[in-house]
Amino acid sequence: MNGPGNGTTTHGMETIKTQVGIVGAGPSGLLLAQMLHLAGIDSVILESRPRSYIENRQRAGVLEHGVVRTLADCGVGARLAREGMVHEGIDIRFGETRHRLDVKALSGGQCVTVYPQHEIVKDLVAARLQTDRPLWFEARVTSLLDLETSRPRIRFEQDGETRELACDFVAGCDGFHGISRPAIPGGRIDSYGRDYPFAWLGILAEAAPASHEVIYAHHKRGFALQSMRSPTVSRLYLQCPVDDDVEQWSDDRIWSELHARFATHDGFRLNEGRIVQKSLTPMRSFVAAPMRHGRLMLAGDAAHIVPPTGAKGLNSAVGDVRVMAAALEAYYRHGDGDLLERYSEIALRRVWKTQRFAASLCTLLHRFHDEPRFHMRMQLAELEQIVEDPRAAELFARNYTGLPFDV
């Protein structure tokens, strides 16, 4: 299989050649590049941000069972295996009572692992640099050209110069606000979505997690979640109005509200510590379909957004990348374009299932202000069914720990 060709100059603009041009060095773009490298397929990654930004951007990191195995199979799972925190259960609270679901037993042996997303990015960047293949930071893509031909081009700016990348395929892995999805002409793509009437106030605190497993708390004042970044750092979230201002939330107010929402009849109490980060995240569900246009294929947040309640964003992106990498390998190794033609169809099957689970958790656990009393009673009835009915608990656990990958 071919590597990148030597650069040529046309009309004063340098043109570089490769097989797959990857826009974005987030987890999906970096993992795709690693999988392609292992298959002998060359790629160039273009990232608009500096390396320090992508390696330190804080994001959730609850990894499905299959994602952990995928990273290990790709040779980037050693540090994850050493430092990741394996969770065999979760704590669901309602009515000031704890209910533990043994998701490992319920799902047939699957667990989730807590490992921050920026650490995955560091591992993938290190792996990419070891291949000595192009990963160009501060390379701002300005346009995607000739997407419906056999030789699309990516025009980008770097170090004050405009350059072009000529490739066989373009992988749009540049997130919700990136250039890839808007490059698809109007009328060729449909958008499905919902903006929820609340947001999450998230904090990072220098405090040991009060529980070694994730806690989902349903409360009349609103939803709350305890997760962790390490054995000494807690990640906590509070449902709040979508138009709230982080500055309105003092440290004392945050801890008071967290204690109220996590309270149980047996006297549970969070560990407090210095709050080192505060952020506000609106809740959104979004899917773009199809996920392919000509020689452009979208993956991850460029194609879909899930509310973080189910921790499915990164996991869903890995599902896309697995299908895309397998399709490209079949094309280059065997001349078989069937998987490429079916990329969007296959990827979207899993995307919609993860969307359903994440959206259902949003509806199940958050306070809605329209008909709040009726909605809360419905929520409590469903929560009771999940913790009391083994069939409902098993379905929840299998979705939470990760549905099978189609490819």
> What phi, psi does 216 have (nearest 5°)?
-105, 120
> Which of the residues 115, 216, 331, 343 is marked catalytic?
216
pLDDT over 70, % of the chain = 97
DSSP assignment letter at 39: T
Does pLDDT of 5 surpass 80? Answer: no
- Give tens-digit pLDDT for 8-31: 665 567 899 999 999 999 999 999
CATH 3.30.9.10 domain range(s) in the chain: 87-114+195-283+363-401
User: How far, in Å, CA of 85 to CA of 231, rounded?
Assistant: 9
Per-residue pLDDT at 2: 44
What's the whole-number mean pLDDT along residues 48-77?
Answer: 94
Give the separation between CA 119 and CA 308, rounded to whole angstroms: 18
Tokens coding 198: 């609340």
Residues of the chain with CATH 3.50.50.60: 5-58+116-192+285-360
CA dist 254 and 252 (Å) reads 5
Spatial separation of the C-alpha atoms in residues 142 and 160, rounded to whole Å: 13
Rg of the chain on CA atoms, in Å: 22
> Cα(8)–Cα(239) distance, rounded to whole angstroms?
54
The residue annotated as part of the active site, out of 312, 332, 343, 366, is 312
pLDDT in tens, 200-257: 999 999 999 999 999 999 999 999 999 999 999 999 999 999 999 999 999 999 999 9
Q: Rounded to whole angstroms, what are the CA distances from 388 to 84, 112, 325, 380, 398?
A: 30, 22, 41, 12, 16
pLDDT score of 372: 78
Indicate the average pLDDT of the chain. 95
pLDDT bin (cut points 50, 70, 90) of residue 61 is confident
Token pair belonging to 381: 């009835």
Q: Does residue 241 carry a catalytic annotation? A: no
Average pLDDT over residues 131-137: 97
Active site residue 53: no
Domain 87-114+195-283+363-401 sits in CATH at: 3.30.9.10
- What percentage of residues in the chain have a pLDDT greater than 90? 92
Nearest of 251, 295, 256 to residue 275 by alpha carbon: 251
Let me know: does 303 contact 177? Beta carbons within 8 Å.
no
Task: Give the span between the Cα atoms of 312 and 304, in whole angstroms.
Answer: 11
Domain 5-58+116-192+285-360 has CATH 3.50.50.60: yes
**pLDDT (0 to 100) of residue 12:** 60
CA–CA gap between residue 176 and residue 195 (Å, rounded): 14
Closest CA to 153 of 162, 163, 144: 144
Q: Residue 1: is its pLDDT beyond 70?
A: no
Say whether 331 is catalytic.
no
* Distance of alpha carbon 143 from alpha carbon 149, whole angstroms: 15
Report the half-sphere exposure of 83 (CA within 13 A, side-chain side): 16
312 is catalytic: yes
Contacts of 166 (CB under 8 A, 6+ apart): 15, 16, 17, 18, 151, 152, 153
Distances (CA, A) of 74 to 34, 69, 99, 299, 323: 7, 9, 36, 18, 14
Question: Out of 308, 331, 332, 343, which one is annotated catalytic?
Answer: 308
| Residues 6+ positions from 155 with CB-CB distance below 8 Å | 141, 142, 143, 144, 145, 162, 163, 164, 165
Beta carbons of 324 and 32 less than 8 angstroms apart: yes
Q: What is the pLDDT of residues 84-100, one digit of tens each?
A: 999 999 999 999 999 99
Full-model pTM: 0.94
Closest CA to 217 of 241, 238, 198: 238
Give the active site residue among 17, 37, 65, 87.
Answer: 87
Main-chain dihedrals φ then ψ at residue 289, nearest 5 degrees: -145, 135
Active site residue 4: no
What are 151-179's pLDDT values in tens digits?
999 999 999 999 999 999 999 999 999 99
